[in-house]
Structure formats: structure tokens, C-alpha cells
Amino acid sequence: MTRHYVVVGGSRGLGRAFAEAAVRSGHVVSTIGRSLTDALEGGQFPCDLTRADQTADVLDVIRRDQGEIDAIAFFQRFRGPGDDWEGEWQTSLTATKTLIEHSVPHFAANGLKSIVAVSSVNAEFISPKLPPGYHLAKAGIVQLAKYYACKLGPQGIRVNAVCPSTFVKPENEAFYESHPEIVTRLAKLSPLNRMATYRDVVDVIFFLLSERSAFVTGQSLTVDGGISLQWHEHMES
Ligand SMILES: NC(=O)c1ccc[n+]([C@@H]2O[C@H](COP(=O)([O-])OP(=O)(O)OC[C@H]3O[C@@H](n4cnc5c(N)ncnc54)[C@H](OP(=O)(O)O)[C@@H]3O)[C@@H](O)[C@H]2O)c1
């Protein structure tokens, strides 16, 4: 069955990989991002998520051009110059809240009515090289998923979050291929003895957006290959 997926932050990275997989499966895809790319199929809707005026309107335009929406996946994170605390807050949290609240009348009555927001293991665990705003934004995404799961559940809308660890994405595949020592070191952290790839995360998002997870809402699913299961002191040897 053909579905209409809105992919927020679909111009690059994991979001783009998700959008391309959805197009390959024959679905209608509408991507939101600041940049447009010739190489990306599906409808592209330029929007700067730090701009409240643009964010408020973009789903109306998508509905007009591409029809009612089945599901929305949020991949965006703050990238660019400027204050990252303010930037993360607006890009990750305010934009997600605005788009979720505007989405309600645009869902197809018999569609998936499902939302997934990409958070991170940094919702719970600290990576000192990443800024505090990133950690707060990712924790906030998890809480937004719970909040809107309760608020929108009576309208049949499900909201979940996904918390990945570091994954290889198309843009950095060449880097990891040329640094096998990094891949080996990171792989050893997981009981599965490998690094995550974007495909691992994309598959989980498709599952959470699909009717196969119809009774799952307000959850955050960690996709870390079990890295977080092991007590650090036991990983010395
Ligand atoms: N990479 C990892 O290993 C990793 C690990 C754990 C969690 N995550 C999470 O996974 C998600 C995807 O990560 P990624 O590395 O694939 O990200 P990415 O390559 O940096 O892509 C970010 C996307 O967000 C969009 N975006 C950023 N600012 C925007 C704005 N102001 N307005 C509209 N769109 C904006 C970008 O599009 P434009 O530039 O075209 O605007 C781009 O499509 C993020 O939420 C990230 O926090 C990533």
C-alpha cells in the first residue's frame, strides 16, 4: 500500500537515507530541509526550522501539493553557525512541537497516523565532546514523544522516539572504510561486535511508523547494539 511519509531533515544523513528507502519502496515522500538536492526523488519542501513563520506553514503546503499525510519522521538536528543552545532548542524542540501540533488535521483518516522523532543515546548518556544543548534537546525529544502520545492518542495518533548510538551513514562511509582501526574499536563496544549503520536505524523507524507497531506509543527505542548494557569497568580487557 502506498503511504505518504513526511521526512523532516530529509535532505542529508539518516533522514535522506530514510527518504530514499521510502521512495524505492514506491511511497510518496515529502522532505523538509533548508537545502534542495537534484539527486533526491520525491517532493522537496524548503523550510528553515528556526523560522517560526516557515515551520507553521510547511505542512499546509505539503498537504496541498502531495495529499494527506500518513506518517512523519523527524531527523533534524541543529547544524550551522550561531549559538548551539538556542539553535538546538529551536531546531529540535520548538520545530518538532510546532509540526506535531500542526500535523493533526493533515493525517489521512485511515492512514498510519504515526510519528517518530529521532533522539539519541545522548538523551540518557553524556558525550562530553557534544554540547549540553544537544543532550537537553535529545532528552526533550523523548519527553515530547511521551507527552504527545498521551495528548494525541485519543485521535489515533501514535508518537515514539528512537535513540541510536553512532551509526555509519552514507556521507561518512568512506571515512570509516579508510579508518578500520576506529571501526574495530567501536565495534568491540557492542556485544554484536559491529558498528551500527544507517540501515539499522531506518528499519526500526519504518517499523515504528507501520501498523505492525499499532499498540506501541510514547516509547523510546534504543538502537545501540547493546553497547549501553555493559558496565564500563568490565570492558577494560
Ligand atoms: N550521526 C550519528 O551517528 C547519530 C547518532 C545518534 C543520533 N543521531 C541523530 O540522528 C538524526 C540524524 O543525524 P544525521 O547525522 O544524519 O544528521 P545530519 O546529516 O546533520 O542531517 C540533519 C538534517 O537536519 C536538517 N536541518 C538541520 N537544521 C535545519 C533547519 N534549521 N531547518 C531545516 N532543516 C534542518 C538538515 O537539512 P539542511 O541542512 O538541508 O537544512 C539535514 O537534512 C539527528 O537527529 C541526530 O541527532 C545521529
For 113-139, what is each residue's pLDDT tens digit?
999 999 999 999 999 999 999 999 999
d(CA 125, CA 127): 7
Three-class SS of residue 215?
coil
Q: What was the pLDDT predicted at 66?
A: 96
Asked if the model's pLDDT at residue 220 lies above 60, the reply is yes
Cβ of 135 less than 6 Å from ligand 1:
no
Please classify residue 107 by burial: count the beta carbons closer than 10 Å to its beta carbon, then call 0-12 exposed, 13-18 middle and 19+ buried: buried
Cβ of 79 less than 6 Å from ligand 1:
yes
Asked if the model's pLDDT at residue 236 lies above 70, the reply is no
- Those residues with Cβ within 8 angstroms of residue 44's Cβ, 6 or more apart along the chain or in another chain: 11, 30, 31, 33, 36, 37
Q: What was the pLDDT predicted at 154?
A: 98
156 alpha carbon to ligand 1 midpoint, in Å? 28
Most informative mutation of 12, 92, 171, 183 for ligand 1 (most atoms within 8 A of CB): 12
Q: How many CB atoms lie within 10 A of CB 167?
A: 20
φ/ψ region of 70 (left if φ > 0, alpha if ψ in -120 to 50, else beta) reads alpha
For 75-100, what is each residue's pLDDT tens digit?
999 998 889 999 999 999 999 999 99
236 alpha carbon to ligand 1 midpoint, in Å? 33
User: With bands split at pLDDT 50, 70 and 90, how would you rate the model's confidence at 237?
Assistant: low
User: With bands split at pLDDT 50, 70 and 90, how would you rate the model's confidence at 17?
Assistant: very high
214 alpha carbon to ligand 1 midpoint, in Å? 27
Q: What was the pLDDT predicted at 6?
A: 98
Least confident of 17-21, 175-179, 229-233: 229-233
Most informative mutation of 77, 122, 200 for ligand 1 (most atoms within 8 A of CB): 77
Active site residues: 134
Q: What was the pLDDT predicted at 80?
A: 85
What residue spans of the chain are helical by DSSP H? 13-24, 52-66, 84-88, 95-103, 132-152, 173-177, 180-187, 198-209
Average pLDDT, rounded, for the chain: 95
Task: Return the H-helix or E-strand segment holding 119.
Answer: none
φ/ψ region of 22 (left if φ > 0, alpha if ψ in -120 to 50, else beta) reads alpha
Asked if the model's pLDDT at residue 235 lies above 80, the reply is no
For 38-57, what is each residue's pLDDT tens digit?
777 779 999 999 999 999 99
For 142-198, what is each residue's pLDDT tens digit?
999 999 999 999 999 999 999 999 999 999 999 999 999 999 999 999 999 999 999
